[in-house]
Amino acid sequence: MKTEILKSLFDSEQNVISVVNNLTPEDFEKAINEGWTIGLNLQHILDIEQLIFESAQTKNTDIEFTNKAEQIKHIMLVSERKFKAPPIFYPKEPITTISDFITKFKSTRARIYSFIENNSIDTMSDDGHPLFGSLSQQEWFVFLYTHTIRHIRQIENILTNYSQGK
């Protein structure tokens, strides 16, 4: 399972970097239908990466795994369901430069990779998710890469809408 999680995290990192590297400074201000700007989406990704990394490291008991990881993948990547982040998770300030985002993103991901490689991730985290409830450390990392992919898709949608003049 560690190998699958690390591969998924790495693949999502490469996807993020490829999208972000193509942004212009003007892109950071773009949004659709009064939603978050691209800059706010990027800051939210950074905030949640750090928060989930911290949450995943807290543990209390061994658990039996369920199919919650598949539920997370489906809801975050397949479902058209819209979610509104709780206000506590709203980004405070938007990211404004590509290099700032990439530096912070890669730094957090490096710590995450190291943690996964050097620890057992088969225990339950003390922290719960507002939608999914109690998550194991593995499930937190599944949520992490699906959350990142979901926001990158939103950014790509914003860019597509702007390129089509919508």
pLDDT along the chain (166 residues), means of 10: 88 94 93 91 91 70 58 71 76 90 95 89 65 77 90 93 78
Single out the residue of 73, 99, 113, 134 nearest to residue 20, CA to CA: 99
CATH code at position 129:
1.20.120.450
Give CA–CA dist 110/101, Å, rounded. Answer: 14
End-to-end Cα distance, the chain:
42
Give CA–CA dist 160/166, Å, rounded. Answer: 9
| Domain that includes residue 14, residue range | 2-163
Kindly report the backbone phi and psi dihedral angles of residue 126, in degrees, each rounded to the nearest multiple of 5, phi listed first: -70, -25
| Local structure of residue 61 (DSSP, 8 states) | -
pLDDT at 65: 44
pLDDT at 125: 61
pLDDT at 130: 63
Domains held by the chain: number? 1
pLDDT at 64: 47
